[in-house]
Amino acid sequence: MKHLILIIILGCISFSVKAQLRLEPKQMVFVPTQKPNSIYYHDTLYRGSQEFKYLFYKTLDKDLIALYEKHQSNKVWGNIFTTLGTLATTAGIIMATNGSDKTAGWITAGSGLACTITGGYLILKGQVNLAKAVNLFNDRYAKTQVGIGIGNKQAGLVINF
């Protein structure tokens, strides 16, 4: 019976998991990698916000820039809270198990844990804002374009997908 339940669970998971990430040629794609801020655009993998920041700013789109700046703010504050929370949790556990002041140690450890969870939440919200920015960029700037040109004894039609 346990094997049947495990097979059913693994079967359900296998239907929802994709083996590869589809990379559209003309669209920006948010890529989950070891470095969390990675974007693939026009055959280039941009790792980190300093590399892809100009892609958002060159559009001069206020909504896109606002989402990018929210992402940056959430990422920075999330890293600060996570670091401080980790240090406070470690110091609190050391204080509580060392025997000096157990109550203050557990209070410090608990508040450090809460700070770490808050930092993780902010980092997650930053990734959500970056994904929203990528989707907004694709909706507004990665569309099919048609151009007609007429010159001296020539005419042309250009379609970009």
Tally the domains of the chain: 1
Q: Is residue 6 part of a domain?
A: no
Q: Is residue 8 part of a domain?
A: no
Return the DSSP state at 33: -
Q: What 3-state class would DSSP assign to 31? A: strand
Q: Is residue 57 part of a domain?
A: yes
Q: What is the enclosing helix (H) or strand (E) of 42? A: none
Q: What 3-state class would DSSP assign to 58? A: coil
Q: Are 160 and 145 in contact (CB under 8 A)?
A: yes
- Range of 52's domain? 23-140
Q: Is residue 98 part of a domain?
A: yes
Q: Is residue 1 part of a domain?
A: no
Q: Is residue 151 part of a domain?
A: no
Alpha carbons 19 and 140: distance in angstroms, whole number: 28
pLDDT attached to residue 161 = 47
Q: Is residue 72 part of a domain?
A: yes
Alpha carbons 142 and 55: distance in angstroms, whole number: 12
pLDDT digits (tens, 9 = 90+) for 21-68: 666 666 777 776 666 677 777 767 777 777 777 778 888 888 888 988
Please say if the pLDDT value at position 155 is more than 70. Answer: no
Q: Is residue 148 part of a domain?
A: no
Alpha carbons 93 and 112: distance in angstroms, whole number: 10
In this prediction the pTM is 0.67
Kindly give, in sequence order, each residue whose CB lies less than 8 Å from that of residue 70, ignoring residues fewer than 6 positions away: 126, 129
